[in-house]
Amino acid sequence: MLRSSVARWALGLVLAVAVLGLMRFKPWQRGGAPQAREQLQVGFLPVTCHLTCPVTDYATRTSTATRFESQRFTDFPTIVESIKGGRLEATFMIAPLAMKLREQGVPVKIAYLGHRDGSTVMVRSDLTEVKDLRGLRGRTFAIPSKYSNQYLVIRKLMDDQGIGPDEVRFVELPPPDMPGALASKAIDAYFVGEPHAAKAELDGTGRILYHAKDIWPQFISCVLVVHEKLIRERPEVVRDLVRGIAE
């Protein structure tokens, strides 16, 4: 009798645990195994006008089908080579460089217009005599790329102030290297997006000479560039990414 009671008690306990498990996991509500999400790497440079990190995070959290991951680069030439080599299919990029790639026959398209007015011209703090761009004649001026929006904007300012194309010596530098180059006096000025302008100002090695909006108001700085192969083969992923940015 005792053995029979213990067996019934054990059986009842097992059934209770099984019922609780069913109530917790609710297998009848599942429509089969969850499908794996599509994945896409989105390139960016560590400047505030490339808002890829928060954008991809939001796009991922609000998507049921795609996971977007940010891929950090330090310079535009590496981004260009990654796109040309098929290792990168979507990236934030300065608008003039995107147009140059298209001109060179690289099959990319601008999928979304991004940041405006995001760059600042910084000059060495000790060059107190420099009041405008004319004061940088014969000096060294750093830009991210000769295809950058910064170069295009500064060339406009040179035309406005009557400065010849050879009167300022331009050098290309990755944006993170510019504040250090200014502090060491390897360059006299640079034009770049944040936070690399603010760093020189906070360190006391540089001061603001111009904001981009002072030279060319509403100039489109960065755009989302997508490879045509991605548009052709996975259009729903492109739509999902654009949705995440637009929202």
Q: What is the pLDDT of residues 128-177, one digit of tens each?
A: 999 999 999 999 999 988 888 889 899 999 999 999 999 999 999 988 89
Nearest to 196 by CA among 14, 43, 187: 187
Q: What is the pLDDT of residues 175-202, one digit of tens each?
A: 889 999 999 999 999 999 878 899 999 9
Nearest to 121 by CA among 213, 48, 189: 189
CA dihedral over 104, 110, 115, 116, signed as positive or negative: positive
Read off the pLDDT band of 12 (50, 70, 90).
low
Cα 159 to Cα 179: distance, rounded to the nearest angstrom: 26
* Of the candidates 247, 220, 228, the residue with the CA atom closest to the CA atom of residue 111: 228
The C-alpha atoms of residue 94 and residue 47 are separated, in whole angstroms, by 11
Mean pLDDT across the chain:
84
Predicted confidence (pLDDT) per residue in 66-95, tens digit? 998 888 888 888 999 999 999 999 998 888
Q: Which residue has the higher pLDDT, 39 or 32?
A: 39
With 60 as the cut, is the pLDDT of residue 25 above it?
no
Is the pLDDT at 2 greater than 50? The verdict is no
